[in-house]
Structure 1
Amino acid sequence: MRIVILGLSITSSWGNGHATTYRGLVRELVRRGHEVLFLERDMPWYACNRDLQRPPFGRTELYADLEMLKDRFTDAVRGADLVVVGSYVPQGVEVGAWVQRTARGVPAFYDIDTPVTLAKLARGDFEYLSPELIPGYRLYLSFTGGPLLQRIERELGSPAARPLYCSCDPELYAPETREPLWDLGYLGTYSDDRQPVLERLMLDAAREWPSGRFVVAGPQYPANLAWPGNVARVEHLAPPEHPAFYNSQRFTLNVTRADMVRAGYSPSVRLFEAAACAVPLISDAWPGLGTFFVPGEEILISHSGEQTCRYLQEVTEGERRAMGMRARARVLSEHTAAHRAETLEGYLRSVTSGRAP
């Protein structure tokens, strides 16, 4: 098939979780014999922070503005079997309307931020998607599953809203034999709604256990934040550095954005990446978590710093390693980029054959 994807970024993972998802998906689609063109708006903040200048899979092209997009790539969009527009694409409403007018194949929307998108629509904020566009996307692909998809169909008129969760790359994320540097680590860009949970689950644990070793990696944290003395900070880690970072921890922490918690069924890519490294996960609680990992066997749920401390101090080394390997087995069997590429193929075959995906 010929597939065109217009996404936020594939060349830069700086401050976004989109790039790693697109990299894995595009690579696996190409491996399965498809011709994939990825179109990315050339934005200055990504231009200064590109960690994959020329993706070695498919074809990646940058465009400066909407007019350049139309001038150079109308034929590609018109001739594609599938055209995917991602969330947070600059001028996404105009891009989506053009795609729906131009594409002869299946136009689809890939929402990597579904609960955030719906909250924006409810406020009348049509930054990259408007209600009028949703019925025209024959597939609404979503990082979030569960009941929210029924609402997108019922209330917003989507012909077919289906989960296409994030995933991990098992070729990049795997266990390593190294001595852990930290008892608990966290990887994530700063956000106002996640910070109180990070405070409760990690920083309170760090204060309670002064001899414990903790680390937080990610950009955009305010300079005036007060960190406990036993919490190390890493400003930014490019994706090639993530596996070593996970493998340097005894446990890794997952913190979910408030909109994702309310919606449920919204796994973070960090969950799958850390699990693929066989590093046991400690996570906040949210609806649907048990459909991805079995609590108590493949993942630990924490509600407080005290509970986090108990896990760090009381789980034996043998139990820790066994839990990590069970989580890794789950990821390899269900949550790789290859699984997502196969799922997308199935959705497209169903839509083009007239059946419900």
Structure 2
Amino acid sequence: MKIAFYGSSLLSSYWNGAATYYRGLLRDLAARGYQITFYEPDAFDRQKHKDIDPPEWARSVVYAATPEGLRAVLDEAKAADIVVKANGVGVFDTELLEGIVAHSREDALRIFWDVDAAATLDEMRADESHVVRRTLPRLDMVLTYGGGPPVVDAYSGFGARRCVPIYNALDASTHHPVAPDPAFSADLAFLGNRLPDREARVEEFFRKAAAALPERRFLIGGNGWETKGMPDNVRHLGHVYTHQHNAFNCTPLAVLNVARDSMADVGFSPATRVFEAAGAAACLITDAWEGIEMFLTPDEEVLVARDGQDVADHVAALTPERARAIGARALERILAEHTYTHRGEQVDALWRESLQPERSAA
């Protein structure tokens, strides 16, 4: 079966937190026999910051972010059995979603893949003419990056025929334990781009913890933080490329996960970095959100913090021996239950079930 996938970027993780998610899932689906074409616009300098070459397991099409470029790639939708529009492309998001409906075959499976469901649903509540609300009746399903029952219920309330969370996971071929790198040495490290709905939580869970432990070393990576005032014991890294993530996670005593406001509010939303850290057998400290137990057991496989003081207390009490034990248990759990092989199996079964009536009727 042929998949036409319209997303932000497969080739670059620059300002594109979904890159690892796309790569892990689509590589597994390709191994199951799907023929995948990934369409991404040449926008936001992502092509200047590519961190993988076009992969063997997918055809990569980079198109000009112009009306002409858009028309050319949408015209290819008619050749696909499954047509996917992911949100967060950043250019032509409305036209792409409308376009996959208009250009795909009637017997094709049409999917909106929401990698920021909490934010999308907030927009839909505020705007009756929102493109997703208007398009839902003609979509076969909505798949989401996370969100659990609250997101499923909300999408169902808007009239989605089917909504299924496909959670982030671990790609063990790319994220795994490596030797420590002194460049990432710290007692606590955080990696994430500076975004408006994350900044206040980073202030609380990272900056406040660093201020409470002036004798300890803190490290922050991601775009945008260089202009953010931090205590003297915080070191800035800027953008950290995907190939550096293993060393970033393996080297510090612990790494921190801080959810964005919207994701923390709905819960059931483990970010990619949760699985990357666990895959590297890192000791993870995460802000508290509903549903963490679905993925990692608090105090055994992950440390959970309600605020910055909790983070500081965890770091102050953490020994290298306990950190290694927590990381080892996290790796074991994730490998057993939360890899992209598990997610690919879930998606494959879902799609084949959804297409079977049409194939049988034909």
Which residue in the other structure is 1:334 paired with?
Answer: 337
Aligned pair partner of 1:259 in 235, 258, 262: 262
- Cα distance in 2 for partners of 1:307, 1:98 equals 48
Aligned pair partner of 1:120 in 106, 118, 123: 123
Distance verdict in 2 for CA 1:20–1:125, change over 3 Å: farther
SS of equivalent to 1:4: strand
Following TM superposition, by how much is the alpha carbon of 1:299 offset from its aligned partner in structure 2, in angstroms? 0.8
Aligned pair partner of 1:319 in 315, 318, 322: 322
Distance verdict in 2 for CA 1:189–1:33, change over 3 Å: same
Following TM superposition, by how much is the alpha carbon of 1:44 offset from its aligned partner in structure 2, in angstroms? 4.5
Aligned pairs for 1:23-34 within 5 A: 23-34=23-34
Which residue in the other structure is 1:188 paired with?
Answer: 192
Which residue in the other structure is 2:283 paired with?
Answer: 280
Which residue in the other structure is 1:154 paired with?
Answer: 156
Distance verdict in 2 for CA 1:283–1:297, change over 3 Å: same
Partner amino acid, structure 2, of 1:68: G
Aligned pairs for 1:140-151 within 5 A: 140-151=142-153
Partner amino acid, structure 2, of 1:173: H
Query: Is the 8 Å Cα contact of residues 135 and 156 (structure 1) preserved in structure 2?
Result: no
- Cα distance in 2 for partners of 1:244, 1:153 equals 38
Query: Is the 8 Å Cα contact of residues 258 and 287 (structure 2) preserved in structure 1?
Result: yes
Partner amino acid, structure 1, of 2:25: L
Following TM superposition, by how much is the alpha carbon of 1:98 offset from its aligned partner in structure 2, in angstroms? 2.0
Matched, 1:91 2:92: yes
Following TM superposition, by how much is the alpha carbon of 1:315 offset from its aligned partner in structure 2, in angstroms? 2.9
Deviation per CA, 1:104-157: give whole Å up to 9, x if none: 210101100000111122222978x43111122111000123222333443211
Matched, 1:294 2:297: yes
- Cα distance in 2 for partners of 1:322, 1:126 equals 51
Query: Is the 8 Å Cα contact of residues 251 and 312 (structure 1) preserved in structure 2?
Result: yes
Which residue in the other structure is 1:201 paired with?
Answer: 205
- Cα distance in 1 for partners of 2:128, 2:216 equals 44
- Cα distance in 2 for partners of 1:48, 1:321 equals 37
Tell me which protein shows more helix as a share of its residues: 2
- Cα distance in 1 for partners of 2:14, 2:136 equals 29
Distance verdict in 2 for CA 1:82–1:152, change over 3 Å: farther
Following TM superposition, by how much is the alpha carbon of 1:335 offset from its aligned partner in structure 2, in angstroms? 2.0
Query: Is the 8 Å Cα contact of residues 66 and 95 (structure 1) preserved in structure 2?
Result: no
Partner amino acid, structure 2, of 1:195: E
Partner amino acid, structure 2, of 1:5: F
Query: Is the 8 Å Cα contact of residues 152 and 164 (structure 2) preserved in structure 1?
Result: no
Which residue in the other structure is 1:40 paired with?
Answer: 40
Query: Is the 8 Å Cα contact of residues 7 and 38 (structure 2) preserved in structure 1?
Result: yes
TM-score (norm 2): 0.91
Identity among equivalent positions (%) equals 32
SS of equivalent to 2:225: coil
Matched, 1:178 2:189: no
Matched, 1:165 2:167: yes
Query: Is the 8 Å Cα contact of residues 117 and 151 (structure 2) preserved in structure 1?
Result: no
Query: Is the 8 Å Cα contact of residues 151 and 266 (structure 2) preserved in structure 1?
Result: no
- Cα distance in 2 for partners of 1:26, 1:77 equals 17
- Cα distance in 1 for partners of 2:238, 2:252 equals 17
- Cα distance in 1 for partners of 2:38, 2:313 equals 46
- Cα distance in 1 for partners of 2:297, 2:137 equals 36
Partner amino acid, structure 1, of 2:255: T
Which residue in the other structure is 2:103 paired with?
Answer: 102
Query: Is the 8 Å Cα contact of residues 144 and 163 (structure 1) preserved in structure 2?
Result: yes
SS of equivalent to 2:187: strand
Following TM superposition, by how much is the alpha carbon of 1:96 offset from its aligned partner in structure 2, in angstroms? 1.7
SS of equivalent to 2:231: coil
- Cα distance in 2 for partners of 1:103, 1:84 equals 10
SS of equivalent to 1:108: strand
Which residue in the other structure is 1:71 paired with?
Answer: 72
**Please, which runs of 5 or more residues in structure 2 have no aligned partner?**
none
**Please, which runs of 5 or more residues in structure 1 have no aligned partner?**
none
- Cα distance in 2 for partners of 1:94, 1:86 equals 12
Partner amino acid, structure 2, of 1:211: E
Partner amino acid, structure 1, of 2:277: A
Distance verdict in 2 for CA 1:125–1:316, change over 3 Å: farther
Distance verdict in 2 for CA 1:148–1:354, change over 3 Å: farther
- Cα distance in 2 for partners of 1:253, 1:124 equals 35
Which residue in the other structure is 1:239 paired with?
Answer: 242
Distance verdict in 2 for CA 1:195–1:79, change over 3 Å: same
Cα RMSD for the two superposed structures? 2.1
